[in-house]
């Protein structure tokens, strides 16, 4: 019989990621995200519910999470649910369900601002920062063209950064 344990969340980090290393050398990163749900009750009143989810990320992915994520930033997380049980210091049995992340995608820009977009005959792209003068050469039609060895990382779209 087939079974599936999968969680997918989009939410905001409630605290900065905390990283630690185990004696075995394995890195583990933990943080929490908040998700919101809004609905109208039977009387038409707007209701809102916030849920908090503990996230654990292992290995190199955990190291990346620690460097790429910060409190308040929006993130997409996918992984599996895992419940841990233990006996507390007072003898009471305790448990905690967390999401062990297998992938994440930061959804907030690195600097907190959206990139400016421009439109042209070539389509839509990221606007080049002012002051970056690119060397242009003329082609046979007299139009300005980029030198063949010139590439702009600012204009390239990384497919890994697209959240869908």
| CATH number for domain 7-106, candidates 2.40.50.140, 1.10.3720.10, 3.40.50.1370, 3.90.1300.10 | 2.40.50.140
Contact 137, 147 (CB under 8 A): yes
d(CA 4, CA 72): 30
Q: Is the pLDDT of residue 18 over 60?
A: yes
Is the pLDDT at 163 greater than 80, yes or no? no
pLDDT at 158 over 80: no
Tokens of 45: 């009143």
Distance CA 87, CA 39 (A): 38
**β-bridge mates for residue 50, sequence order:** 36
Q: What is the pTM of this model?
A: 0.63
pLDDT of residue 159: 66
Burial status of residue 40 (CB atoms within 10 A of its CB: 0-12, 13-18, 19 or more): exposed
- For residue range 22-67, what is the model confidence (pLDDT) as tens digits? 999 999 999 999 999 999 999 999 999 999 999 999 999 999 999 9
What pLDDT was estimated at residue 66?
94
């Amino acid at each position: 019989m087939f079974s599936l344990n999968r969680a997918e969340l989009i939410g905001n980090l409630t605290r900065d990621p905390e990283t630690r290393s185990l004696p075995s050398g394995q890195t583990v990163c933990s943080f929490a995200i908040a998700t919101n749900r809004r609905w109208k009750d039977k009387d038409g009143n707007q209701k809102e519910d916030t849920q908090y989810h503990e996230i654990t990320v292992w290995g190199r992915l955990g190291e990346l999470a620690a460097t790429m994520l910060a409190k308040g930033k929006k993130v997409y997380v996918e992984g599996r649910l895992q419940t841990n049980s233990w006996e507390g210091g007072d003898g009471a049995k305790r448990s905690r369900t967390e999401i062990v992340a297998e992938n994440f995608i930061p959804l907030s820009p690195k600097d907190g601002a959206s990139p400016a977009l421009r439109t042209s005959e070539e389509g839509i792209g990221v606007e080049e920062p002012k002051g970056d003068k690119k060397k242009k050469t003329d082609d046979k039609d007299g139009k300005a063209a980029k030198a063949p060895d010139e590439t702009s990382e600012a204009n390239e779209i990384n497919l890994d950064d697209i959240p869908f």
